[in-house]
Structure 1
Amino acid sequence: MTDLTAETRQTDRLDPARANALLAALGRPERLAEGDALPPFFHQIHFWEAQPPEALGRDGHPRTGGLIPDLGLPRRMWAGGALRFLAPLRVGQEAEKRTIRETVAQKTGRTGPLAFVTLRHEIRQDGALCVEERQDLVYREDPTPDAPRPGPPEARRDETEARVACFDSTLLFRYSALTFNGHRIHYDADYAREVEGYADLVVHGPLLAQLLILMAEEQAPLKDFRFRATAPVTLGEEVTLCRDTESAWVRGADGRQCMAAKLGF
């Protein structure tokens, strides 16, 4: 990546072996060859930001400072985002990703100081814009035992289609590896519980979004997908992937809403 403060660029060949590995990890029978269309949101397994150990923060992510400024808040969460699929990305061909830091905002919430960082990603092939993505990140303090914990919203129960999903440690490991995501909440149970305050290993928000996207694609090709994470899903938890004609969501076994998304066809 370049060393600019507010913008970076990467190029990567969209390796079919990597895409087929994700399909296999998700239990899907399809296999891709060079020239095929990359499934939507599979660009997440490309454009790795590979940093040496000394450039990582305590959580396993690249240390903040530069594109994402150091805001003095150690916990990072991918809170949601929005995607526009303008043209298919082609497997086996080189693509360019441009990332722009759009906004940085700080505020105080019920749980203490918060910082919000919005990144915009533009992915092109042969000079044509294929995918636009907004990524919303939240940074916060470490939890304290007496800190208020706002309850998650209740999930809808009026879906037209529903599928049960459960996440084991093998899937979490394979998805972390394929996305080169070093965040320790996904593979280091002691860190997830004792430092970041989760009940167990945490299922990746983008993995939940990916499953909703693939489910929606069975209805029609997606043009837009906007999602928001509202409650964590943890190792071994059974959830229900839901959709209707215009929206999709993830419902926990206790009825809580874990993710909500809007679909555009």
Structure 2
Amino acid sequence: MPDILQEETRQKDVMDPARGAALQTTLGLPANIVEGSKLPPFFHQIYFWQPEPAPCLGRDGHPKTGIGLIPDLGLPRRMWAGGRLEFHAPLLAGTLAEKHTTVAEVSHKDGRSGPLGFVTLKHDIHQQGRLCLTEYQDLVYREDPAPDAPKPQAPAAATDEDHAEEASFTSTLLFRYSALTFNGHRIHYDLDYARDVEGYGGLVTHGPLLAQLLMLMAERQLGTLKRFSFRATSPLMHFETATLCWKSDGRMWVRGPDGRQCMQAEAA
């Protein structure tokens, strides 16, 4: 098992209202966040940037593993596989916040496509002397696919939702979301890299972007969001229209245009 190079990181950030309003605009929402506004759930993703100089980036545009919290697992491909969030109190725009991050778990496993590395990060965000948010972020690392490797079969999505909304994506939307979250992963904006190096059929819609849309839908359904968990099950390309699905018991999922399940989630 690789050694953890750091036990934790601590970051401070004033939750800039303009950046929050920019994400609202990117998502097609009214840009009404001002100083003192309660930030919508998951908007903390656009804060606490960790910029690294170019020599510290991997081939995919992400910071290299082995130089911070995440150990070098010897696997080149990275994916945000899912996460779990507990919302204790609203985060406020224009107010200083502090984020504490620790490594909760590191493990290896042999999958059908080869060795896999799993890292779970725990993030606690405090503001005005209280814990506002606890988040567990699940990352998976894997090898490059063999040229003749069969594509993994995606699970079929349910069709018995109580409410559904369609969501479309463009390369511009993906680029703007990458910019706001300071996500340099090239699968979201570099078509040649996504297709020729990582084997995708197009630009990959961010898993956190899908989760963001599901959280906003859940908030509209529930009024207040206390807990949310999600797991990515199949990548969605930027040219595909997705269906965001809600079940009255809090189950949610993203259905691709061919009926496959791209994400499953649960809200409360």
TM-score, reference length from structure 2: 0.96
One-letter amino acid of the counterpart of residue 60, structure 2: D
Change (3 A) 1:247 1:30: farther
- Alpha-carbon separation, structure 2, partners of 1:244 and 1:107: 33
Q: In structure 2, what is the equivalent of residue 17 of structure 1?
A: 18
1:78 aligned residue: 80
Give 1:147 shift: 2.3
TM-aligned CA deviation for residue 22 of structure 1: 0.3
The amino acid that maps onto 1:15 is: D
Does residue 249 (structure 1) correspond to residue 229 (structure 2)? The answer is no
The CA distance in 2 between the partners of 1:238 and 1:27, in whole Å, is 15
Cα distance in 1 for partners of 2:37, 2:167 equals 27
Residue 35 of structure 1 aligns to which amino acid in structure 2? Answer: G
Asked if structure 1 preserves the Cα contact closer than 8 Å seen for 2:83 and 2:138, the reply is yes
Specify the SS of the correspondent of 1:218. Answer: helix
Is 2:201 the partner of 1:187?
no
The residue identity in structure 2 corresponding to 1:31 is N
Aligned to 1:225: 228
What is the 5 A alignment of 1:1-265?
5-65=6-66, 66-219=68-221, 220-245=223-248, 246-264=250-268
Once residues 88 and 217 of structure 2 are traced to their aligned partners in structure 1, the CA distance between those partners, rounded to angstroms, is 19
Contact 2:188 2:204 in 1 (8 A): yes
In the alignment, the residues of structure 1 paired with residue 234 and residue 144 of structure 2 have an alpha-carbon distance, to the nearest angstrom, of 17
CA deviation after TM superposition for structure 1 residue 108, in Å = 0.8
CA displacement at 1:33 relative to structure 2: 1.1
Distance 1:4 1:136 in 2: 18
Displacement of 1:149 in angstroms is 3.1
Tell me whether 11-20 or 140-149 shows the greater mean CA deviation: 140-149
Distance apart, 1:236 and its partner CA: 1.2
What's the CA shift for 1:146? Answer: 2.4
1:148 Cα deviation after fit = 3.9
- Size of the aligned set, in residue pairs, is 262
Partner Cα separation in structure 2 for residue 61 and residue 108 of structure 1: 24
User: Identity percentage over the alignment?
Assistant: 65
Counterpart Cα distance in 2 of 1:239 and 1:50: 31
Q: Which runs of 4+ in 1 moved over 4 A?
A: none
> Aligned-pair distance for 1:127?
1.8
* Residue segments in structure 2 that go unaligned for 5+ positions in a row: none
* Alignment check: 8 A CA contact 2:5 2:71 kept: no
1:118 is displaced (CA, Å) by: 0.4
Q: Give per-residue Cα distances to partners, 1:20-67, cap 9 Å, x unaligned.
A: 000000110141111110111000000001111111111100111131
CA contact (8 A) 1:227 1:261 kept: yes
C-alpha contact 2:5 2:70 (8 A) present in aligned 1:
no
Q: Distance in 2 between matches of 1:251 and 1:70?
A: 34
Q: Which runs of 5+ in 1 are unaligned?
A: none
Partner Cα distance (2:51, 2:77) in 1: 20
Q: Scaled by the length of structure 1, what TM-score is found?
A: 0.97
AA of the residue aligned to 2:171:
S
Take 1:81 and 1:169, find their aligned partners in 2: how far apart are those partners?
A: 25
- Give the aligned residue type for 1:107: K
Which sits farther off after the overlay, 141-150 or 175-184? Answer: 141-150
The C-alpha deviation readout for 1:213-238, integer Å capped at 9, x for no partner, is 00111122110000000000011101
